[in-house]
Structure formats: C-alpha cells, structure tokens
Amino acid sequence: MTHVIAQGTFDLLHPGHVHYLRDAAAFGDRLTVIVARRGNVTHKEPPILPNRQRRDMVAALDPVDDARVGHPEDIFAPIEELEPDVIALGHDQHHDEVAIEDELARRGVECEVRRASPRDPAYDGELLSTGRIIDRILDERGD
Ligand SMILES: Cc1cc2nc3c(=O)[nH]c(=O)nc-3n(C[C@H](O)[C@H](O)[C@H](O)COP(=O)(O)O)c2cc1C
Ligand SMILES: Nc1ncnc2c1ncn2[C@@H]1O[C@H](COP(=O)(O)OP(=O)(O)OP(=O)(O)O)[C@@H](O)[C@H]1O
C-alpha cells in the first residue's frame, strides 16, 4: 500500500484544490491531508476559516481518506509519525523537494517528494484561487 500525504491551507475550497487532491491520490493508494494551522500560514493572508472547519471540509472530499490539522511548531512531526511513501507538493508551493527529502532522511523517514500538476480554468470566470475568491467578494459585496 502506497501512502501519500498532501498538505495546504485549503481555505474556501475551489476546483483547484480538488484537482490537487485527485492528483495526489493518484500517486498511491491512501491519501492523508495535513491542513496548515492558521499560525503557520505566514507567506500570505491568514485563512478566514478555522483550522477544524478547513480539516472537516477536506476530509469530506472523495479522494481524501483522512485529514488532520498540522503540528503547531514542527511541520515534519506528522510525517515522522505517519511514515508516508510519497509527499505530494502542490504545483505552486514554495517548498523545495530536495530540502524536504534531506530533512526527512535525517530523521529516518525514506519518502519520495513529487509535484502535482497545475489546473487551468475550464471556462471563463472559473475561480481557482482562494485569494481571487476573496477579492471577488470584496469587489462585489464590499462597501
Ligand atoms: C511536508 C510538509 C508538511 C507540513 N506539515 C504541516 C504541519 O504539520 N502543520 C502546519 O501547520 N503546516 C504544515 N505544512 C504547511 C506549511 O505550514 C505551509 O503553510 C503550507 O505549505 C501552505 O501551503 P499553501 O500555500 O499551499 O496553502 C506542511 C507543509 C509541508 C510541505
Ligand atoms: N488551480 C490549481 N491547480 C492545481 N493545484 C492548485 C490550484 N489551486 C490550488 N492548488 C493547490 O492546492 C493546494 C492548497 O492551495 P492553497 O490552500 O494555497 O489555495 P490557493 O487557492 O492556491 O491560495 P491562493 O491562491 O489564495 O494563494 C496547493 O498545493 C495548491 O498548489
């Protein structure tokens, strides 16, 4: 059984998230998703939705077998515990494949790091970005 881990913020779900999780699930037989804690989302605006709500929505998606809120300090702690065979990074995630593999090897976890593919809009106006959904809300409903 090939166990895959995917991770991300998953605030306000959209079809880009579904595409990523389908891709990640296709890398193996079982998909666990680690949902980033609000306090660890420092590279962009913090999520609107609470940690547990984002976890519960991701867990309800078809490709996902299990979802959990990530560790507060050590992003490698859940990986050490779960010992996956593959980590699937999103196509645009800032993490470096080799750096992750090296750190996990140092901790005794042999794990392959792969990139999922991007997904373009299927029709005019399809919004495949949480940031763009929020911009649209502010444009259309803001004061
Ligand atoms: C291998 C790996 C493990 C991660 N584990 C955690 C974790 O345990 N806790 C957490 O809050 N975030 C975790 N993250 C998420 C990062 O903290 C970061 O916020 C996340 O990559 C944001 O992705 P996004 O920009 O695609 O939403 C992990 C990321 C990677 C690559
Ligand atoms: N259009 C897309 N195609 C493929 N993967 C996507 C797409 N949009 C998001 N993802 C993936 O989903 C995961 C989680 O994404 P994240 O929670 O950062 O949402 P986002 O919508 O990309 O955020 P934002 O656009 O606001 O920065 C990431 O790995 C990202 O690569």
ipTM of the complex: 0.93
Residue 62 is part of a domain; what is its CATH number? Answer: 3.40.50.620
Would you state the pLDDT for residue 20?
98
The token pair at 53 is 């709500």
Protein residues with CB under 6 Å of any ligand 2 atom: 8-11, 16-17, 19-20, 44, 90-93, 118-119, 128-131
pLDDT tens digit sequence for 1-49: 999 999 999 999 999 999 999 999 999 999 999 999 999 999 999 999 9
Structure confidence at residue 142 as a pLDDT band (50, 70, 90): confident
For residue 68, give every residue at least 6 positions away whose Cβ sits within 8 Å of its Cβ, in sequence order, or none. Answer: 32, 33, 34, 35, 55, 78
d(CA 109, CA 124): 43
The structure tokens 């660890």 sit at 40
Q: Which domain holds residue 114?
A: 3-141
> Coil, strand, or helix at residue 107?
coil
Integer angstrom CA distances of residue 131 from 26, 45, 123, 134, 135: 27, 8, 19, 5, 6
**Would you say 113 and 100 are in contact if contact means Cβ atoms under 8 Å apart?**
yes
- pTM beyond 0.80: yes
Tens digit of pLDDT for each residue in 59-74? 999 999 999 999 999 9
Spell out the alpha helix ranges (H) of the chain.
Answer: 15-26, 51-59, 77-82, 97-106, 130-141
Count of structural domains, the chain:
1
42 among the known binding-site residues?
Answer: no
